[in-house]
């Protein structure tokens, strides 16, 4: 079993836990309190800016064969994913410009930026976000919410193109071959941050 597949296997119970989280369950039903999603959206908008910086820090260390992959991941996050957030912000009345990081966002981004000092471990640390959202999107798309705003969010992460980007991270992770124990530690910490991120600050 490849390292990426091993990490996915140990991360799946935490994906199931996310699916049971009230925020994710509300998105799945399409009846999540608009204020909660608005708060999540503001936090994730701030998170994604630092996520781009994580890709950039890893790109600086990447072998030539994967430099383009990491540049493309940074580009997709900055232009495509953040554009989705800006569009949803208009529909939900989110204040992206005035948003301030809550504790979960600050802790997660600090962890990722620190982990990115090591190429292999940094890939393991960020994999929960790429693989996790692709997995959540695919599962939620099996019975999508009726509310078109939440359906749009689900469709974005269920998109095969997003799954392809996550798959490229898996390939890079396997080729980087970090110490398996350290990779598992980084991955599981990332998964715990993913779960905590759904606790939207009030």
**Cβ neighbours of residue 138 closer than 8 Å, sequence gap 6 or more:** 157, 158, 163
Asked if 144 and 155 touch (Cβ cutoff 8 Å), the reply is: yes
The span from the CA of 192 to the CA of 37, in Å, is: 20
Q: Known catalytic residue: 129? A: yes
Task: Measure CA 26 to chain center.
Answer: 18
Q: Is residue 105 flagged as an active site residue?
A: no
Q: Which position has the token pair 């940074």?
A: 74
Q: Residue 32: helix, strand or coil by DSSP?
A: coil
* Catalytic annotation, pick one of 81, 121, 129, 142: 129
CB under 8 Å to 118, separation ≥6 — which residues? 178
Which residues fall within 8 angstroms of residue 22, CB to CB, at 6 or more apart? 198
Residues designated as active site: 129, 194
């Amino acid at each position: 079993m490849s390292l990426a597949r091993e990490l996915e296997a140990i991360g799946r119970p935490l994906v199931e836990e996310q699916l049971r989280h009230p925020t994710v369950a509300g998105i799945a039903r399409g009846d999540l309190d608009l204020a909660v999603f608005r708060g999540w959206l503001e936090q994730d908008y701030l998170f994604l800016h630092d996520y781009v910086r994580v890709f950039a820090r890893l790109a600086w260390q990447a072998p030539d064969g994967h430099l383009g992959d990491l540049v493309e991941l940074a580009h997709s996050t900055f232009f495509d994913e953040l554009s989705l957030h800006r569009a949803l912000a208009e529909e939900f009345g989110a204040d992206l410009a005035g948003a301030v990081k809550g504790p979960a966002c600050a802790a997660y981004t600090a962890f990722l930026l620190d982990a990115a000092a090591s190429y292999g471990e940094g890939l393991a640390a960020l994999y929960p976000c790429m693989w996790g959202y692709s997995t959540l999107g695919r599962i939620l798309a099996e019975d999508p919410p009726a509310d078109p705003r939440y359906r749009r969010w689900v469709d974005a992460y269920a998109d095969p193109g997003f799954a392809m980007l996550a798959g490229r991270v898996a390939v890079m992770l396997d080729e980087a071959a970090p110490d398996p124990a350290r990779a598992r530690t980084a991955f599981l910490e990332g998964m715990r941050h993913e779960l905590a991120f759904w606790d939207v600050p009030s």
